[in-house]
Structure 1
Amino acid sequence: MTSWVRDPAFARDQPFGPQTLPYGVVDAGDGPRVAVRLGDHALALPSIARHLGDLAELVSGVSLDPLLAATRADWSGLRARLTSLVTQPSAPTGAELVSLSDVRIPLPFTVGDYVDFYSSRHHAENVGRIMRPDSDPLLPNWTHLPVGYHGRSGTVVVSGTPVERPHGQRRGKGGPHFGPSGRLDVEAEVGFVCGGPVARRVPTRSAAEHIFGVVLLNDWSARDIQGWEYQPLGPFLGKSFATSISAWVTPLDALATARVAVPDVGNPWLPYLVEDTPWGLDLRLSVEWNGTVVSRPRFADMSYSCAQQLAHMTVNGATVRPGDLFASGTVSGPEERQRGSFLELSWGGRDLIELADGQTRTFLEDGDTVVITAQAPGEDGSVVGLAPVEGTVLPAVDL
């Protein structure tokens, strides 16, 4: 490939080459600007506005919000124009390329509603066996609909933001105890960033009109708080304290080659969940705990696709709007080292997880850092990247 971008990480065999082009926001001290990632650099899009024509107004603000409010045709048109500009031999007039190490990278869009699903059969069965050992691990509705819950959008934070250990009630002898969580966990998930016109009852065939792109997501979970509060209404304070997402949004168009069918759930879908084309995704995740890779889940094992999740969460007449975010649920596979949460890896705290430095863990300790990464196959053997999501645990604040 001939390109004016002199960055070895901007190559087709690297995650953030011209086949990916994820969108984000950078601030080099002169205010936030919309940018596209090129390897380990970012191209500030206002600097090349003259080359983008009418599409320039979509990326001239301080966030991705105007771009999310556009249409699928606009998204595809902008991507095609940027691909042409970054792969030509000479730099476009005015192009400003900045190193990612020299900029602050804020949350790239305003998060609207947030929904989290529970779509890995392996994860659901593992959690059922751990938390309800005397019951059927998979509840009867699970193979008929994508189970989910509405989360708290105000605590969605960008990758790199530290996460404070939460307080809450926990089960104890003689009644609940209150204090910092002692079983802080992660959930390796994939998030879908919505866009396009406000809509209700989005059919699976229209998913691409309302999903702009994809991020990695860490649904931080306080398992002891969750275990006491979650029956009968499900997650609440055990999950609402923090959700981390990637700083860069990989466009849905970049994942066209990665689409696969979802696994058979064992019974026919109701008509509104039937897909005319497959919307599962072949994403390979990696979960790193203090520098040690402890799990490599596969998103292709998920039992519900993003199109089915979007169809289900709007089938009752609920709207989807630009900036809404929904998450896949924990990505776990059939093998032990494909489990996407530490609850599963430690089997509820029973088994020690050994890290490369010789330390052992069951759940997160203060100062621990977790990084989730992912890649997908692209066209002609290229690699498409999803930007990492990282977070470090801070001690609980005294109340």
Structure 2
Amino acid sequence: MPPFDVPEGDPFGPHNLPYGVFSPAGSTDRRVGVRLGDHVLDAGAAAAALGSPYVSVLARPTLNPLLAAGRTAWSDIRRALTAWVTVPSHQDTVAPLLHPLSAVTLHLPFEVADYVDFYASENHARNVGQIFRPDAADSLTPNWKHLPIGYHGRSGTVVVSGTDVVRPSGQRKAPTDPVPLFGPSVRLDIEAEVGFVVGTPSSMGSPVTLSAFRDHVFGLCLLNDWSARDIQAWEYVPLGPFLGKSFATSVSAWITPLDALEDARIAPPARTHPLLPYLDDAEEEPGGYDLRISVAVNGHTISEPPFSTMYWTAAQQLAHMTVNGASLRTGDLYGSGTVSGPTERERGSLLELTWNGTAPLDLPAGKRTFLEDDDEVTLTAWAPGPNGTRVGLGEVRGRITPAS
């Protein structure tokens, strides 16, 4: 089938066009690519061949120059790309620049600046509260409905989909242990999340408002925030996650621009508490996204978390992250936090799915409470697109290898 003839219903048709970075077969050169069906377009080469004024941001080994170019450039380039892959007169020029997806090597698509992870799902927060504070009057902490809770992670261990994850080692202490032990984590978990990628930076001391979200955020991707629950449980009081989270965070090789997700925008859940003005989105455009996520372990689907249930939106997270004057940098990445829905089949972590190991999952490969060596976890997702289409988000895949 010619590369331009994307099958009807393909979630990576011309209505999507996510960005990544690839190396062609037999080459180590990294190039900005745009996915079309089961092919990758060399965007820089196409821009040069068709006389685009944006060659300088597309003919690069990373997406960062494109991210920094700003919203006007993002929209201009998207319009041009759509024409390049749909207008018949461009086909002779563009066709030789399309590479089979199966023949290329995909890389981490952008240089990650800072990494922040949030805790924005009320279902997830309530599940965790019930697991660890079963006698509490309220499973949510007192601040949860007033601000998006988050923590700063480690940008240097953000890796692209397909990268193996080495089982982390660290201190752990069960309630019955007299002293802490050191060794490989025995409660290795996943967190199905959505990551948001910052393009346009901001000045230190200048908060980013809710209405400026789309001026700063370029797009989104799937994200798996791997978690060593036993290490995390021992270390996180009083300062929060540290070594239990910092060993690896996997992201998709494809960044879906926000402009491809217009038809997926929805209102977030109803607010149950009054919000301070900088977080009050009652008069703002819909800030939620209808993303349908699937989580599979060793090819077996175990959960389908709905992103539409997230209490705090990406715009609110960005506003809170900068309200103290913290600046944004091109390449900043922030995660939504675990996506969990109201039913058991919609929980986004093994911690919740197995209720902290008390209710093992019965999988074809055997029972699971937490991950074993050689387990492979895959996240996939789609969103509603124009005219009944689906917008595919690139998968996030990682296999657990034994501790060093």
TM category (shorter chain) comes to over 0.9
Which residue pairs with 2:93 in the alignment? 93
Q: How many pairs were matched up?
A: 392
SS of match in other structure, 1:320: coil
Pick which of 27-36 and 330-339 moved more: 27-36
For residue 45 of structure 1, the aligned residue among 26, 29, 43 is: 43
Q: Who is 1:107 aligned against?
A: 108
User: Which aligned pairs between 1:86-235 and structure 2 lie closer than 5 A?
Assistant: 86-90=85-89, 91-93=91-93, 95-135=96-136, 136-172=138-174, 173-199=177-203, 200-235=206-241
Q: Which amino acid aligns with 2:33?
A: A
Q: C-alpha deviations, 1:213-268, integer Å up to 9, x for none?
A: 11000000000011111111111100000000000100010011111111123111
Q: Which moved more, 1:44-53 or 1:244-253?
A: 44-53
CA apart distance, 1:279: 1.0
| Correspondent of 2:285 among 272, 277, 289 | 277
1:15 aligned partner:
11
Q: Which amino acid in the other structure matches residue 284 of structure 1? A: R
CA displacement at 1:100 relative to structure 2: 1.4
Residue range with higher mean Cα deviation, 48-57 or 20-29: 48-57
Where does the alignment leave 5 or more consecutive residues of structure 1 unmatched? none
Partner of 2:338: 330
Give runs of ≥4 in structure 1 deviating > 4 Å.
none
Distance 1:24 1:52 in 2: 21
AA aligned opposite 1:131: F
> Percent sequence identity over matched residues?
57
Distance of 2:92 and 2:244 partners within structure 1: 49
Q: Is the 8 A contact 1:71 1:197 kept in 2?
A: no
SS of equivalent residue, structure 2 residue 105: coil
What pairs up with 1:353-392 in 2 under 5 angstroms?
A: 353-355=361-363, 357=364, 359-392=366-399
- Larger deviation, residues 78-87 vs 267-276: 267-276
TM-score, normalised to structure 1's length?
A: 0.96
**Shift in alpha-carbon separation, 1:366–1:52, aligned structure 2, 3 A:** farther
* More deviation, 379-388/194-203: 194-203
Q: State the AA in 2 paired with 1:82.
A: L
Q: 1:52 to 1:316 in 2, by over 3 A?
A: farther
Measure the CA separation in 2 of the matches of 1:278 and 1:111.
27
Q: Distance in 2 between matches of 1:144 and 1:264?
A: 14
Out of 299, 314, 318, the position equivalent to 2:326 is: 318
Q: Which residue of 2 aligns with 1:66?
A: 65
Moved more, 84-93 or 37-46: 84-93
- Distance (Å, rounded) in 2 between the aligned partners of 1:23 and 1:292: 28
- The secondary structure found in structure 2 opposite 1:208 is helix
- Sort the Cα spacing of 1:202 and 1:292 in 2 relative to 1 into closer, same or farther, 3 A: same
Tell me the residue number matched to 1:33: 31
Find the aligned partners of 1:324 and 1:105 in 2 and give their Cα distance: 20
Alignment partners' CA distance in 2, 1:92 and 1:262: 45
What is the CA distance between 1:360 and its match in structure 2? 1.1
Alpha-carbon distance, 1:134 to partner: 2.8
Q: Report deviation, 1:11.
A: 4.2
The answer to whether the Cα contact below 8 Å between 1:24 and 1:108 also exists between their aligned partners in 2 is yes
Structure 2: gaps (5+ residues): none
Q: Structure 2: how far apart are the matches of 1:133 and 1:379?
A: 44
Q: SS of the counterpart of 1:67?
A: helix
295, 307, 311: which one aligns with 1:299: 307
Distance 1:25 1:263 in 2: 35
Q: How far 1:132 moved relative to its partner?
A: 2.3
C-alpha displacement at 1:175, in angstroms?
Answer: 1.4
CA apart distance, 1:308: 0.5
Deviation at 1:55, TM superposition (A): 1.3
Residue 345 in structure 1 maps to residue 353 in structure 2: yes
Decide which moves more: 263-272 or 156-165: 263-272
Q: Which moved more, 1:263-272 or 1:127-136?
A: 127-136
SS at match of 1:209: helix
2: CA distance between counterparts of 1:248 and 1:365? 27
Q: Please report the RMSD computed on the Cα atoms of aligned residues, expressed in angstroms.
A: 1.4
C-alpha distance 52-231 of structure 1, shift in aligned 2 (>3 A): farther
- CA distance in structure 2 between the partners assigned to 1:151 and 1:167 by the alignment: 18
Contact 1:4/1:88 (CA < 8 Å) preserved in 2? no
Aligned AA (1:154):
G
Instruction: Give the Cα–Cα distance (whole angstroms) in 1 for the partners of residues 374 and 287 of structure 2.
Output: 38
| Residue pair 2:252, 2:396 contacting (<8 A) in 1 also | yes
CA contact (8 A) 2:201 2:327 kept: no
Q: Distance in 1 between matches of 2:8 and 2:376?
A: 29
The aligned amino acid for 1:112 is A
Whole-angstrom distance in 1 between the partners of 2:50 and 2:220: 26
The alpha carbon displacement at 1:103 in A equals 1.1
